[in-house]
Amino acid sequence: MFTGIVEAQGRVVALEGRGGGRALWLDAAGLGLAQVQLGDSIAVDGACLTVAAIEGERLRADVSDETLRCTTLDGLRSGSRVNLERAVTPATPLGGHLVTGHVDGVGEVVAREPAGGSERWRFRVPEGLGRYVAVKGSIAVAGVSLTVNAVAGRAFEVNLIPHTLEATSLGERRAGDPVNIEVDLVARYVERLLSAGTDADGDGSGLTLERLRQAGFGGG
């Protein structure tokens, strides 16, 4: 589990074919590898990977063919900059929101434009994910926890402050670039509970809108 608060930026230093997958070597000096162990989970541009080797200030993560297919990691090249975050611990401040590192799909940067002292960005999510995006809700883009300001169909807008643009790889993105998207975990579970109005056994005793109203949620 992660928070979407990027700890460091890494750079791809080598890519090695490994069966249908790929071995990804990263320069991760800024992450503080003295506290990273083999088997630890690391979010790389929002995708949860397992540390398979550590050599000095570099680490290796083996990326499966499925992860390559479902994320932007297949497009990484030597020199590519990536966002890095270690998994949370009980002592980690939850400054962003709960992020699993399980990418839901690859979205796209639609536009970025100045907005006062920040920038207004518009993204588009893949088919089927728009229903999980809500105004003032949270979303992870390339592993960065962001707050949604506006929604229109599959497109949504956020404001990025200068610090976010400098501290993450988003500052290098341009219109048309792909980005990993992970929607809010809570939204998925709420949909599951409400979609059929049944519990996991399908006996009709699950959460419904009427039961929420009876419990005092949602007003009239």
Residues 162 and 206 reside in one and the same domain: no
Residues 80 and 120 reside in one and the same domain: no
Length of the chain equals: 220
Residues 176 and 211 reside in one and the same domain: no
- Strand 150-152 and strand 144-147: the pairing is unpaired
Residue 55, token pair as written in the block: 């050599």
Tell whether 97 is covered by a domain: no
* pLDDT for position 96: 86
Tell whether 174 is covered by a domain: yes
Residues 202 and 178 reside in one and the same domain: no
Tell whether 99 is covered by a domain: no
24/7 Cα distance (integer angstroms): 19
Tell whether 70 is covered by a domain: yes
Tell me the pLDDT of the chain (220 aa) as tens digits: 999 999 999 999 999 987 889 999 999 999 989 889 999 999 999 999 999 999 999 999 999 999 999 999 999 999 999 999 999 988 888 888 989 999 999 999 999 999 999 999 999 999 999 999 999 999 999 999 999 999 999 999 999 999 999 999 999 999 999 999 999 988 888 877 777 555 555 555 566 667 667 766 665 5
Tell whether 3 is covered by a domain: no
Residues 177 and 200 reside in one and the same domain: no
Q: 65 is in which domain, residue-wise? A: 8-86
- Strand 144-147 and strand 138-141: the pairing is antiparallel
Contact 111, 122 (CB under 8 A): yes
Tell whether 114 is covered by a domain: yes
Residues 129 and 115 reside in one and the same domain: yes
Residues 12 and 49 reside in one and the same domain: yes
117: phi then psi, degrees, rounded to nearest 5: -90, 5
Residues 179 and 194 reside in one and the same domain: no
Beta bridge mates, 85: 43
Tell whether 194 is covered by a domain: yes
* pLDDT for position 50: 96
Residues 162 and 126 reside in one and the same domain: yes
38: CATH: 2.40.30.20
Residues 203 and 150 reside in one and the same domain: no
Residue 216, token pair as written in the block: 């005092």
Total domains present in the chain: 3
* pLDDT for position 40: 96
Residues 52 and 120 reside in one and the same domain: no
